[in-house]
């Protein structure tokens, strides 16, 4: 039960929704799926084995592959050179609170839900959407579509079963593939029955079909009917760089270049979806961008608006044909969450695009916060109570209500 003080701060009718937090399956989760356990490899990606799951090498792969994936295999820097002492400390089973903040754990296993619910109660968080890095790693690192679908069905099942005792307050973000949209819709339908209200979506096309293509319309119709929201998470949003930037003997250059533009493909995705008319054809569809930062969305929106004006559209677009402006589609159909850190404050975005920013803790990842509400109590002190409530839950609650499946707490 929230205290009356918290209710006064956020308004009693608006839930606080944490849209990006994390849990991982237990180390032996595959014991529940023995045939899949035997069929999965020990190293990933399956078409270019470089790391084992839940290791420093896996982390090094995520912070280097955006650049190295464009480099011929024989020219790639060896994985052991890309691992840092900080990565080893992050995955040390005997690590202390000096890694991240006290309570942070990049791969906290889902052994029970009581402690997470107690933390949420202490923070005043009503609902939390839970993402699995294990799941999105399997989605990104398994090439074979049949094996990939089996793996994702299994991890979705395992995680949703373990979250089922949380009275609906912990909701799993389902992880799916997009090489067979009939399977995708079937799996999302199954996961909605298991309590999922969101699912992970890569910012890149799958194969030769981009998500703004009419072939995807059956998916967008299905997920809005299900009342589900696609989340473009940075873990499935690799950027594209010229491979020559990897022509260096300094592994730090490779790691830094790879993570310089987390919003790069999110920006491409945004323009393609808005200008491609997806949100005109599916007015209740809402796409959420997680862990890409937040400062990019306002200039990106203003630039699309400028390109759509009569003076510029003949040069780039031709004739802008949609009834709403790009900014109106963004305000209605796009949500963006910053990390709860000082350099990603939502204040300016709340001023220019008040419907767009939404709250997430990224708990218990090291780049998140163990006290996200305390962080925003301080950082949002200058904004109105209404804007604060919109950010903490109202902007998301409106999206689910628009799909006909409102959030109830």
* Residue-level pLDDT at 165: 95
Q: Are 331 and 348 in contact (CB under 8 A)?
A: no
Is pLDDT above 70 for 160?
yes
Q: Are 246 and 76 in contact (CB under 8 A)?
A: yes
Q: Which H or E run includes 305? A: helix 297-308
pTM above 0.85, yes or no: yes
3-class state of residue 197 by DSSP: coil
The tens digit of pLDDT for each residue in 274-299 reads 999 999 999 999 999 999 999 999 99
User: Token pair of 308, please?
Assistant: 């759509």
The tens digit of pLDDT for each residue in 76-86 reads 999 999 999 99
30 CB-near residues (< 8 Å, 6+ apart): 36, 37, 40, 154
Distance separating alpha carbons of residues 32 and 35, to the nearest angstrom: 9
Neighbouring C-beta atoms of residue 124, cutoff 10 Å: 17
Q: Are 289 and 301 in contact (CB under 8 A)?
A: no
Q: Comparing 41-45, 101-105, 189-193, which segment has the lowest mean pLDDT? A: 101-105
Q: What is the end-to-end Cα distance of the chain in Å, rounded? A: 11
Q: Are 216 and 209 in contact (CB under 8 A)?
A: yes
Is pLDDT above 50 for 6?
no
Distance separating alpha carbons of residues 202 and 94, to the nearest angstrom: 34
Average pLDDT on 203-217 reads 96
Cα–Cα distances in angstroms (integers) from residue 70 to residues 67, 326, 329, 331, in the given order? 6, 32, 34, 35
* Residue-level pLDDT at 318: 86
Is pLDDT above 60 for 10?
no
Neighbouring C-beta atoms of residue 1, cutoff 10 Å: 6
Per the prediction, the chain carries an average pLDDT of: 94
3-class state of residue 226 by DSSP: helix
Distance separating alpha carbons of residues 176 and 187, to the nearest angstrom: 7
Longest dimension (CA), the chain: 62
Is pLDDT above 50 for 262?
yes
Single out the residue of 391, 274, 406 nearest to residue 333, CA to CA.
274
* Residue-level pLDDT at 8: 39
The tens digit of pLDDT for each residue in 16-37 reads 999 999 999 999 999 999 999 9
Q: Are 199 and 179 in contact (CB under 8 A)?
A: no
* Residue-level pLDDT at 258: 97
Is pLDDT above 70 for 185?
yes
* Residue-level pLDDT at 94: 80
pLDDT-derived band of residue 98, with 50, 70 and 90 as boundaries?
A: low
Q: Residue 97 carries which DSSP code?
A: T
Question: Which is more confidently placed, 311 or 239?
Answer: 239
Burial of 4 (0-12, 13-18, 19+ CB in 10 A): exposed
Q: Comparing 92-101, 137-146, 378-387, 392-401, which segment has the lowest mean pLDDT? A: 92-101
- Count of residues making up the chain: 409
Q: Where are the beta strands (DSSP E) in 156-257?
A: 170-175, 198-200, 229-233
Q: Residue 245 carries which DSSP code?
A: G
The tens digit of pLDDT for each residue in 125-136 reads 999 999 999 999
64 CB-near residues (< 8 Å, 6+ apart): 77, 82, 251, 254, 255, 258
Single out the residue of 91, 66, 55, 60 nearest to residue 236, CA to CA.
66
* Residue-level pLDDT at 5: 43
- The position carrying tokens 């799951």 is 53
Is pLDDT above 80 for 7?
no
122 CB-near residues (< 8 Å, 6+ apart): none
- The position carrying tokens 């209500």 is 401
Angle between helices 133-141 and 145-162 (to 10 degrees): 170
> What radius of gyration do the chain's Cα atoms show?
21
Distance separating alpha carbons of residues 127 and 125, to the nearest angstrom: 6
Q: Which residues does residue 357 pair with via DSSP β-bridges, in sequence order?
A: 336
Single out the residue of 336, 350, 315, 325 nearest to residue 396, CA to CA.
336
The tens digit of pLDDT for each residue in 312-340 reads 767 778 889 999 999 999 999 999 999 99
* Residue-level pLDDT at 4: 38
């Amino acid at each position: 039960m929230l205290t009356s003080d918290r209710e006064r701060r956020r308004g009693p009718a608006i839930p606080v929704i944490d849209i990006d937090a994390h849990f991982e399956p237990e180390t032996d989760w595959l014991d529940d799926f023995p045939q899949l356990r035997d069929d999965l490899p020990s190293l990933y990606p399956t078409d270019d084995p470089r790391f084992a799951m839940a290791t420093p090498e896996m982390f090094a792969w995520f912070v280097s592959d955006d650049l190295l994936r464009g480099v011929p295999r024989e020219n790639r820097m060896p994985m052991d050179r890309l691992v840092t002492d900080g990565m080893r400390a992050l995955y040390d089973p005997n690590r202390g609170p000096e890694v991240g903040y006290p309570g942070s754990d990049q791969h906290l296993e889902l052994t029970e839900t009581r402690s997470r619910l107690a933390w949420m109660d202490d923070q005043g968080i009503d609902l939390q959407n839970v993402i699995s890095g294990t799941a999105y790693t399997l989605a990104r690192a398994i090439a074979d579509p049949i094996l990939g679908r089996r793996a994702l069905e299994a991890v979705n099942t395992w995680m949703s079963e373990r979250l089922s005792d949380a009275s609906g307050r912990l909701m799993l973000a389902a992880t799916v593939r997009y090489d067979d949209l009939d399977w995708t819709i079937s799996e999302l339908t199954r996961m909605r029955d298991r309590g999922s209200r969101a699912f992970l979506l890569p910012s890149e096309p799958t194969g030769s079909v981009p998500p703004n293509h009419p072939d995807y319309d059956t998916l967008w119709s299905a997920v809005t009917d299900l009342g589900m929201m696609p989340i473009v998470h940075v873990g499935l949003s690799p950027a594209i760089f010229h491979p020559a930037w990897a022509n260096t003997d300094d592994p730090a250059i490779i790691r830094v270049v790879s993570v310089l533009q987390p919003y790069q493909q999110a920006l491409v995705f945004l323009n393609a979806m808005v200008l491609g008319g997806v949100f005109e054809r599916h007015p209740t569809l809402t796409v959420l961008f997680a862990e890409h930062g937040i400062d990019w969305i306002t200039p990106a929106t203003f630039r699309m608006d400028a390109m759509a004006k009569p003076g510029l559209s003949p040069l780039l677009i031709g004739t802008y044909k949609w009834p709403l402006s790009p900014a109106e589609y963004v305000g209605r159909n796009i949500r963006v969450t910053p990390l709860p850190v000082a350099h990603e404050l939502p204040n300016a975005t709340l001023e220019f695009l008040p419907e767009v920013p939404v709250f997430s803790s990224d708990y218990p990842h090291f780049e998140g916060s163990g006290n996200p509400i305390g962080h925003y109590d301080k950082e949002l002190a200058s904004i109105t109570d209404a804007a604060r409530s919109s950010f903490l839950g109202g902007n998301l609650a409106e999206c689910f209500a628009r799909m006909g499946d409102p959030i109830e707490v």
